């Protein structure tokens, strides 16, 4: 296979070119490979700094002397390739093509050869001999990467100089090699990257068409290759240069092979890989960096999951041992506050006292009790995020979430839902795509929060005595099964077709920064209080109005009327209007179910078993645990996803809970419960 | 190699890490990173935003974009899918 550009230089040509003028060395390389350090060492104080003609990019030139001979050194702008992606890349290639330096010194970072050699692959196609400088060889050695310069030199067919520029090591060897190459005393037979045979034919056709019109300074093969790569600058130049009929033929060929760049660049990477495989020895498992070693365990399908389960256990333990007691304590404080407010407003109109105690403190005040749980979760989140472990959780859980059309990142918000659905909805912010975020928001209320679990845990013994534990376990497990099934159904039949593959570059592990964690908790807490709190306060007052008016008696309120209106639905589940009303009031906060039952039945623990069959009790508890989420969650859904998603969530949960309640009741009746 | 990487992404809609892709392509994770960045420069891949659209007014937005702590996510663009389609690698 033929290279795109012929060997344009011979020993004689090189020697002749430099015989009558001061030889020019051009330093090329990517940014941050130590090119400027080498330039400074070579030129010392003999530097001139200006701008490249017509550009605002800095141009540095200088002179040095070696073995009694002067050399001009030009520091080319840092470039990743020689395609017209940036002004720096255009300057670098134009200089080499038009000014024809005697030698191009390609500086690469020895520790990241894969990254650095692409530029070299392109430099070898230009009409100037290339010397490769393996800079930062010491850093590569420290990282356990062993590069063999002689092997690389044999593989590339060009001189390779190992260097540690910051210590001045390798500079003399470089200058000796430059002199030898300019003097024609060094063999130069570069092994250039090749292209696929089918593209070689297309390239030959392009060369044939454009050859008579390409300006003298440009190698025709190189121009044709750049056209095939889709280089914007060369394409524009040739469009202006070629006669119309020729351009139309060329353009048709280029259009047909629009993606040739993938094969051309792919072949260059294949070439790079062969070079790296031949000359680079990487550290073994025992010598890997901390991140790689940790990831061997933490992203392992078995050990990684074991660690993850332990981490999740820790999250629950922290939440229940710190967050829930604090929430209970805050609830007691709120109760006392409501009592004090009631006493203070004893002389005020009844509605005002009820608004303050039941509407504002009992409704919006409930939000404040979420704070301890939120803070615990935000702390854990910030810690996991700041150490870099969060990304590993997303990666590990991806395979499970995938069945539901979700990625692992959805696992985190769903996990938060066990504490409270509000942070679960807020937690969906970490999800990238709108579809995945919406789907997670729809599924999050199906994770039974502490309040839901508490309500069924309180009511289950009333109906089922010592079998209550089993009933609660079945209810919680059933919720999670419903979540998985709903996720699969939504993914397969409604929100399908948008899922895409991702490449995930896992971040390095970090020691957590306490200030970052503190800031994260503070900002999240303030944002929650400001945004969710204001909406919740408003909605709480509205719902309270419906439960209080027209005459202050709950059983005759508009809410109760709605309950009675819904009684026919209740009958399908064996539920009275009181139980339906209790369900409705759980919209303000889940715990309200118990409070409402207390108001409507008095000693509900004694009365309920007499008015409700086991089948009805199971239906009630099933509906309760699957019922539409509390107002705080609904408000947060609206805030985070918008009204449409909120309405979708409400209808979904309402349909699911009532459907499940009816199903459970009818099945129970069939079984004689 | 670039086509192969696109094809792997197109065949499976899961999360892939550079080490996994490196194994599939018989190369190094460093090379996969390089290929990924190259495909992104050419418009065949795009880096997924770190914050979703719901985060537009989030006080933590600046923090979320902090370099080094977040996993970088890349996904195939329309141009990438078109290239696969033309090559017969996509439906």
Do A402 and B9 count as a contact with CB atoms less than 8 A apart?
no
Burial of A559 (0-12, 13-18, 19+ CB in 10 A): buried
Q: Average pLDDT in the A248-254 region? A: 88
Cα angle value A459/A463/A465 (rounded, 5°): 95
Q: Average pLDDT in the B54-70 region? A: 44
Round to whole Å and give the CA distance between A159 and A173: 11
| Structure ipTM over 0.95, yes or no | no
Do A269 and B15 count as a contact with CB atoms less than 8 A apart?
no
Structure tokens at A442: 């729809």
Q: Average pLDDT in the A388-400 region? A: 76
A17 Cβ neighbours under 8 A, 6+ residues apart = A100, A102
CB B81 within 8 A of CB B46: no
For all residues of chain A together, what is the average pLDDT? 81
Size of interface A-B (CB pairs under 8 A): 160
Best A503, A510, A637, A644 member to test B by mutation, with max B CBs in 10 Å, is A503
Burial of A49 (0-12, 13-18, 19+ CB in 10 A): exposed
Chain B residue with minimal CA distance to A116?
A: B34
- Three-state secondary structure call for residue A449: coil
CB A101 within 8 A of CB A95: yes
Most confidently modeled range among A136-145, A161-170, A250-259: A161-170
Q: Domains along chain B?
A: 2-51+58-87 (1.10.10.10)
Please tell me the least confidently modeled range out of A392-406, A468-482, A634-648: A392-406
Do A501 and B38 count as a contact with CB atoms less than 8 A apart?
no
Question: What does DSSP assign to residue A220?
Answer: H
Q: How far is B66 from chain A (nearest CA, A)?
A: 10
Q: How far is A645 from chain B (nearest CA, A)?
A: 12
Do B34 and A114 count as a contact with CB atoms less than 8 A apart?
yes
Neighbour-count burial for A215-224, b at 16+ CB within 10 Å, e otherwise: eeebbbbbbb
- Three-state secondary structure call for residue A503: strand
Q: In what order do the strands lie in the sheet with B15-16?
A: B15-16, A502-505, B72-76, B45-47
Cα angle value A222/A225/A231 (rounded, 5°): 100
What are the pLDDT digits (tens) for A115-158?
889 999 999 988 889 999 999 888 888 878 889 999 999 999 99
Q: How far is A290 from chain B (nearest CA, A)?
A: 15
Do A273 and B55 count as a contact with CB atoms less than 8 A apart?
no
Residue A616 has pLDDT above 80, yes or no: yes
Do B9 and A501 count as a contact with CB atoms less than 8 A apart?
yes
- CB count in 10 Å sphere of residue A29: 29
Q: Average pLDDT in the A421-439 region? A: 78
Over pLDDT 70: what percentage of chain A? 87
Chain A residue with minimal CA distance to B38?
A: A265
C-alpha to C-alpha distances, A495 to A435, A491, A498, B34, nearest whole angstrom: 7, 5, 7, 34
CB A608 within 8 A of CB A601: yes
Structure tokens at A133: 């400088």
Residue A322 has pLDDT above 60, yes or no: yes
At A11 the pLDDT is 44
Do B54 and A432 count as a contact with CB atoms less than 8 A apart?
no
Q: In what order do the strands lie in the sheet with A130-135?
A: A47-51, A58-66, A69-75, A24-29, A103-109, A130-135, A160-162
- Three-state secondary structure call for residue A334: helix
Q: Domains along chain A?
A: 11-182 (3.40.50.300), 197-281 (1.10.287.1770), 284-673 (no CATH)
Give the H or E element holding residue A470: helix A468-489
What are the pLDDT digits (tens) for A431-473?
767 777 888 899 999 988 877 877 887 788 888 887 877 888 8
* Ramachandran angles phi, psi of A50, nearest 5°: -145, -155
The beta strand positions in A261-329, using DSSP E, are 280-281
The position carrying tokens 């011979």 is A10
Q: How confident is the model at residue A514 (pLDDT cuts 50, 70, 90)?
A: confident
Which neighbouring-strand residues pair with A48? Answer: A61
């Amino acid at each position: 296979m033929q290279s795109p550009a012929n060997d344009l230089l011979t020993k004689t040509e090189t020697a002749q070119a430099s015989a009558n003028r001061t030889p020019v060395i051009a330093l090329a390389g990517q940014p941050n490979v130590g090119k400027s350090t080498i330039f400074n060492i070579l030129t010392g104080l003999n530097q001139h700094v200006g701008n490249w003609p017509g550009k605002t990019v800095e141009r540095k030139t200088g002179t040095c002397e070696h073995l009694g001979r002067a050399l001009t050194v030009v520091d080319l702008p840092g470039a990743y390739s020689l395609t017209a992606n940036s002004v720096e890349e255009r300057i670098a290639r134009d200089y080499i093509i038009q000014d024809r330096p005697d030698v191009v010194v390609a500086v690469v970072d020895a520790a990241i050869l894969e990254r650095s050699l692409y530029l070299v692959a392109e430099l070898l196609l230009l009409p100037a001999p290339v010397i490769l400088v393996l800079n930062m060889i010491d850093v590569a050695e420290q990282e356990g990467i062993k590069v063999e310069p002689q092997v690389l030199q044999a593989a590339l067919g060009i001189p390779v100089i190992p260097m540690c520029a910051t210590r001045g090591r390798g500079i003399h060897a470089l200058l000796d090699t430059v002199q030898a190459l300019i003097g024609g005393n060094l063999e130069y037979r570069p092994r250039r990257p090749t292209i696929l045979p089918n593209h070689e034919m297309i390239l030959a056709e392009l060369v044939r068409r454009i050859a008579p019109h390409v300006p003298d300074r440009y190698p025709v093969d190189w121009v044709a290759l750049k056209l095939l790569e889709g280089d914007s600058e060369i394409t524009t130049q040739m469009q202006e240069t070629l006669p119309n009929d020729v351009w139309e033929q060329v353009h048709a060929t280029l259009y047909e092979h629009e993606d040739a760049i993938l094969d051309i660049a792919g072949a260059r990477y294949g070439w790079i890989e062969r070079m790296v495989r031949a000359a680079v020895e990487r550290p073994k498992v025992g010598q890997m960096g901390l991140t790689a070693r940790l990831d061997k365990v933490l992203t392992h399908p078995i050990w990684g999951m074991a660690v993850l389960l332990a981490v999740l256990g820790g999250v629950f333990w922290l939440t229940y041992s710190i967050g829930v007691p604090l929430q209970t304590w805050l609830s007691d404080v709120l109760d006392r506050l409501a009592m004090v407010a009631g006493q203070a407003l004893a002389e005020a109109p009844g509605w005002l006292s009820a608004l303050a105690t039941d509407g504002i403190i009992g409704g919006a005040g409930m939000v404040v009790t979420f704070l301890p749980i939120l803070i615990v979760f935000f702390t854990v989140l910030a810690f996991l995020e700041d150490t870099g472990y969060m990304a590993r959780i997303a990666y590990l859980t991806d395979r499970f979430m995938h069945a539901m059309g979700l990625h692992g990142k959805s696992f985190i918000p769903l996990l938060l839902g066990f504490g409270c659905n509000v942070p679960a909805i807020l937690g969906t912010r970490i999800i990238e795509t709108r579809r995945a975020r919406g789907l997670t928001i729809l599924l999050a209320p199906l994770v039974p929060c502490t309040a839901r679990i508490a309500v069924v845990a309180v009511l289950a013994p009333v109906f089922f005595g010592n079998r209550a534990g089993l009933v609660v376990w079945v209810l919680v497990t059933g919720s999670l099964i419903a979540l998985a099934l709903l996720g699969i159904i939504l993914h397969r039949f409604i929100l399908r077709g948008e899922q895409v593959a991702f490449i995930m570059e896992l971040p390095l592990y970090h020691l957590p920064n306490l200030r970052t964690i503190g800031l994260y908790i503070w900002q999240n807490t303030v944002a929650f209080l400001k945004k969710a709190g204001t909406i919740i306060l408003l909605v709480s007052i509205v719902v309270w109005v419906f439960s209080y008016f027209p005459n202050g008696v709950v059983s005759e309120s508009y809410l109760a009327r709605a309950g009675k209106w819904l009684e026919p639905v209740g009958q399908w589940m064996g539920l009275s209007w009181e139980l339906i009303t209790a369900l409705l009031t759980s919209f303000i906060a889940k715990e309200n179910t118990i409070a409402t039952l207390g108001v409507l039945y008095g000693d509900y623990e004694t009365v309920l078993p007499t008015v409700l069959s086991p089948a009805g009790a199971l239906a009630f508890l099933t509906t309760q645990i699957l019922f539409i989420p509390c107002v705080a969650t609904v408000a947060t859904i609206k805030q985070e996803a918008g009204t449409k998603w909120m309405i979708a969530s409400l209808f979904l949960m309402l349909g699911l809970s009532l459907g499940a309640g009816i199903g459970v009741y009818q099945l129970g009746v069939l079984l004689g419960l | 190699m670039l086509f192969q990487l696109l094809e792997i992404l197109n065949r499976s809609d899961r999360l892939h890490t550079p080490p996994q892709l490196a194994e599939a392509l018989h190369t190094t994770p460093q090379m996969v990173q390089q290929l990924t960045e190259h495909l992104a420069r050419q418009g065949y891949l795009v880096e997924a935003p770190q914050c979703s659209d719901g985060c537009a007014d989030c006080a933590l937005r600046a923090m979320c974009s902090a370099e080094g702590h977040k996993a970088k996510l890349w996904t195939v663009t329309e141009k990438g899918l078109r290239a696969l389609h033309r090559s017969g690698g996509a439906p």
